[in-house]
């Protein structure tokens, strides 16, 4: 098997950076995003706040003790999702081989692009800044483990490539908590027996690691030696994408139903875009007050993915049916999916 080229991309201080972009006077300040109540925890914080020792998952009261002058903001998850959609759109313009890991993070397999990976990484960084004003860190390597390690190498706004000839030298001095999947508990336990760096970890036999970590031990043994054959998994198996809800109160007023349908279409369109899919069959589902289920679908001669198109077709179905009874549940779904014709941007 020839060598793969994998990128790991991860936004910098994601929620906090979005807050700074939306409120420019926050720039350069310690910004902490999390539940506003004292009982909440920190979701994330700007790099300025990290200098005070504030970290994700730290209780707010503790963060306030460490960083009393910080600016504490509530989370606005819908806004972060909106920005997330924009960055994923960029990833899918590069390649359909995108494995989303979280709201701000993904693996991209760019092997088939046959382009210089550093130029591709720089292109992504530029596109992300242009679209959102935010910075992203990119790690490049020949497997997932090393790509992820690389994206974390010189955050924020990082770019790092780890090539095969750098192994194992580049890994030896790293503290073991840099190994993805190694939690605080394991780190402490290893520290207590004198294992601090990956170089120290090299002295341990696979059997010892298996005993120590269970089944994951052998994975760690291999990964610190540069071996990780996990594929970038795109979710191809999606057959349909749908949303439904039980109404606040039963109705047969179509105008009221439109409101629900509109929010479904927006959300469905978002999922399609994240998965790089479009579809051509729309299904409207209703359940009556007497718990009878009905569906009606419509197959188009073309594929759609935009919110406005899904909405138009869904409403077309809604207004083509007679509602004789009140209904208690409504849903919309799209099926007959295919991967979108990504206009593979001619990169350069
Ligand atoms: P991360 O990518 O882990 O963190 P980050 O983007 O804020 O900072 P970094 O520059 O180190 O990548 O997580 C992405 C977002 O997910 C983060 O902005 C907020 C959210 N999040 C939580 O809500 N709780 C958590 O414990 C973590 C780790 C993240
Ligand atoms: Mg991040």
Helices 117-132 and 77-94, packing angle to 10 deg? 140
10 is in an annotated binding site: yes
Over the stretch 193-231, which tens digit does the pLDDT of each residue have?
A: 999 999 999 999 999 999 988 888 999 999 999 999 999
Please report the atom of ligand 1 found closest to the CA of residue 16: 18
Cα 306 to middle of ligand 2, angstroms: 27
* Region of poorest pLDDT, from 18-22, 55-59, 115-119: 55-59
Residue 347 has pLDDT above 50, yes or no: no
pLDDT score, position 270: 87
151 C-beta closer than 6 A to ligand 1:
no
Quick check: CB of 12 below 6 Å from ligand 1? yes
Taking the CA of 10 as reference, the closest ligand is: 2
Mean per-residue pLDDT over the chain, rounded: 92
For residue 144, the model assigns a pLDDT of: 97
Does residue 163 contact residue 5 with C-beta atoms inside 8 Å? no
Q: Give me the pLDDT at residue 30, please.
A: 98
Read off the pLDDT of each residue in 187-198 and give the average, rounded to a whole number. Answer: 94
Q: How far apart are CA 306 and CA 303, in angstroms?
A: 10
Task: For the chain, give the longest Cα–Cα distance.
Answer: 75
In this prediction, residue 269 carries a pLDDT of 93
Name all contacts of 18-22 with Cβ < 8 Å and 24+ positions apart. 18/76, 18/79, 18/80, 18/83, 18/134, 19/73, 19/76, 20/46, 21/132, 21/133, 21/134, 22/79
User: 340: pLDDT confidence band, cut at 50, 70 and 90?
Assistant: confident
Burial label, 252 (beta-carbon count in 10 A; 0-12, 13-18, 19+): middle
Q: What is the pLDDT of residue 293?
A: 83
Question: Are the C-beta atoms of residues 329 and 320 closer than 8 Å to each other?
Answer: no
- Number of Cβ within a 10 Å radius of residue 93: 17
Ion ligand 2, residue ranges at CB < 5 A? 10-11, 14, 104
Model confidence at 78: pLDDT above 60: yes
- Residue range(s) in the chain whose domain bears CATH number 3.40.1170.60: 15-77
Q: How many whole angstroms from its chain centre is CA 325?
A: 42
Residue 97 CB less than 6 A away from ligand 1: no
Q: Residue 130: pLDDT band by 50, 70, 90 thresholds?
A: very high
pLDDT of residue 198: 97
| Residues forming beta bridges with residue 31, ordered by sequence position | 71
How do 293-304 and 159-161 pair as beta strands?
A: unpaired
10, 12, 13, 14, best to mutate for ligand 1 pocket (most atoms within 8 Å of CB): 14
Residue 342 clears pLDDT 60, i.e. is over it: no
At residue 237, the pLDDT reads 57
171 lines ligand 1 (CB under 6 A): no
Is residue 343 scored above 90 in pLDDT?
A: no
Confidence (pLDDT) at 235: 61
Q: Is 38 a catalytic residue?
A: no
pLDDT category, 319, cuts 50, 70, 90? very high
What mean pLDDT comes out for the span 17-39? 92
Consult the annotation and say whether 207 binds a ligand: no
d(C-alpha 42, C-alpha 313), whole Å: 42
- DSSP string computed for 238-289: --EEEEEEEEEEEE--HHHHHHHHHHHHHHHHHHHHHHTEEEEEEEEEEEET
Pick the CATH number of 176-223 from 3.40.50, 1.10.150, 1.10.1740, 1.10.10: 1.10.150
pLDDT at 239: 77
Which of the pair, 124 or 102, is modelled with greater confidence? 124
Containing 139, the helix (H) or strand (E) segment is strand 136-141
Instruction: Tell if the pTM clears 0.95, that is, is over it.
Output: no
Q: Is the CB of 103 under 6 A from ligand 1?
A: yes
Q: How far is CA 289 from the centre of its chain?
A: 38
Contact 7, 140 (CB under 8 A): yes
**Measuring from atom 8 of ligand 1, which residue has the nearest CA?**
13
156 Cα: distance to centroid of ligand 2 (angstroms)? 9
Scored b (16 or more CB within 10 A) or e, 3-20 reads ebbbbbbbbbbbbbbbbb
Q: For atom 21 of ligand 1, which residue has the closest CA? A: 43
CA 12 / ligand 1 centre spacing (Å): 8
Residue 6 · residue 110 · CB < 8 Å: yes
Q: Which residue, among 124, 79, 131, has the nearest Cα to 106 in the 3D structure?
A: 124
- Residue 180: band (very low, low, confident or very high) from pLDDT cuts 50, 70, 90: confident
pLDDT of residue 290 exceeding 60, the answer is: yes
Q: Looking at the domain 15-77, which fold is it?
A: MutS, DNA mismatch repair protein, domain I (3.40.1170)
Ligand 1 proximity of 75 Cβ (cutoff 6 Å): no
Which residue in 19, 48, 99, 105 is the catalytic one? Answer: 105
Q: Is 48 touching ligand 1 by the criterion CB < 6 Å? A: no
Residue 1 has pLDDT above 80, yes or no: no
What is the arithmetic mean of pLDDT over 12-30?
98
Task: In the chain, list all ranges with CATH 3.30.1490.100.
Answer: 240-342
- Asked whether residue 37 carries a pLDDT value surpassing 90, the answer given is no
Q: Is the CB of 232 under 6 A from ligand 1?
A: no
Angle made by CA atoms 89, 91, 93, in degrees to the nearest 5: 70
% of residues, the chain, pLDDT over 90: 76
Q: Which strands sit side by side in the sheet containing 105-109, from one edge to the other?
A: 98-102, 105-109, 6-11, 136-141, 159-161
- Residue 331 CB partners (closer than 8 Å, separation 6+): 242, 243, 244, 245, 264, 284, 285, 286
Confidence band, pLDDT 50/70/90 cuts, at residue 96: confident
Residue-level pLDDT at 32: 97
Q: What is the CATH number of domain 240-342?
A: 3.30.1490.100
Nearest CA to ligand 1 atom 10: 12
Of the pLDDT bands very low, low, confident and very high (cuts 50, 70, 90), residue 119 is very high
Tell me: pLDDT of 184 over 90: no
324 C-alpha to center of ligand 2: Å? 51
In eight-state DSSP terms, residue 196 is -
Tell which wins on pLDDT, 46 or 186. 46
- CA dist., res. 227 & res. 296, Å (int): 51
3-state percent breakdown (helix, strand, coil) of the chain, nearest 5: 40, 25, 35
Minimum CA distance residue for ligand 1 atom 22: 43
DSSP per-residue codes, 59-100: BHHHHHHH-TT-EEE---HHHHHHHHHHHHHHHHHH-S-EEE
pLDDT in the model for residue 341: 57
Question: 273 falls in which pLDDT band (50, 70, 90)?
Answer: confident
- 3-class secondary-structure state, position 201: helix
* CATH classification code of 6-13+79-166: 3.30.70.270
């Amino acid at each position: 098997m020839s060598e793969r080229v994998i990128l790991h991309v991860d936004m910098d201080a994601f929620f906090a950076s979005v807050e700074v972009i939306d409120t420019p006077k926050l720039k350069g300040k310690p910004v902490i995003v999390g539940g506003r109540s004292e009982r909440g925890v920190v979701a994330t914080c700007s790099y300025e706040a990290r200098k005070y020792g504030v970290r994700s998952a730290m209780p707010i009261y503790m963060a306030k003790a460490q960083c009393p002058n910080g600016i504490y903001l509530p989370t606005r998850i819908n806004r972060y999702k909106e920005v997330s959609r924009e960055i994923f759109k960029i990833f899918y313009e590069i390649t359909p081989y995108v494995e989303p890991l979280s709201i701000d993070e993904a693996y991209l397999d760019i092997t088939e692009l046959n382009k210089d990976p550093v130029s591709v990484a720089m292109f992504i960084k530029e596109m992300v800044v242009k679209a959102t004003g935010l910075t992203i860190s990119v790690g490049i390597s020949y497997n997932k483990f090393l790509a992820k390690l690389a994206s974390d190498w010189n955050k924020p706004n990082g770019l790092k490539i780890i090539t095969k000839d750098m192994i194992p030298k580049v890994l030896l001095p790293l503290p073991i908590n840099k190994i993805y999947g190694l939690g605080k508990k394991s780190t402490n336990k290893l520290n207590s027996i004198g294992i601090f760096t990956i170089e120290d970890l090299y002295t341990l036999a696979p059997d010892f690691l298996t005993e120590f970590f269970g089944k994951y031990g052998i994975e760690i043994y291999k990964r610190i030696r540069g071996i990780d054959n996990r594929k970038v998994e795109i979710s191809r198996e999606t057959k349909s994408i749908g949303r439904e809800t039980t109404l606040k109160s039963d109705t047969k007023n179509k105008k009221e139903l439109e409101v629900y349908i509109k929010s479904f279409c927006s959300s469905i369109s978002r999922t399609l875009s994240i998965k790089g899919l479009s579809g051509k069959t729309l299904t409207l589902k209703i359940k009556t007050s007497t718990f009878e289920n009905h569906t009606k679908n419509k197959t188009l001669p073309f594929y759609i993915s935009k919110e406005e198109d899904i909405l138009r077709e869904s409403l077309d179905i809604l207004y083509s049916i007679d509602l004789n009874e009140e209904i208690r549940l409504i849903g919309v779904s799209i099926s007959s999916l295919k991967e979108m014709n990504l206009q593979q941007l001619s990169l350069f």
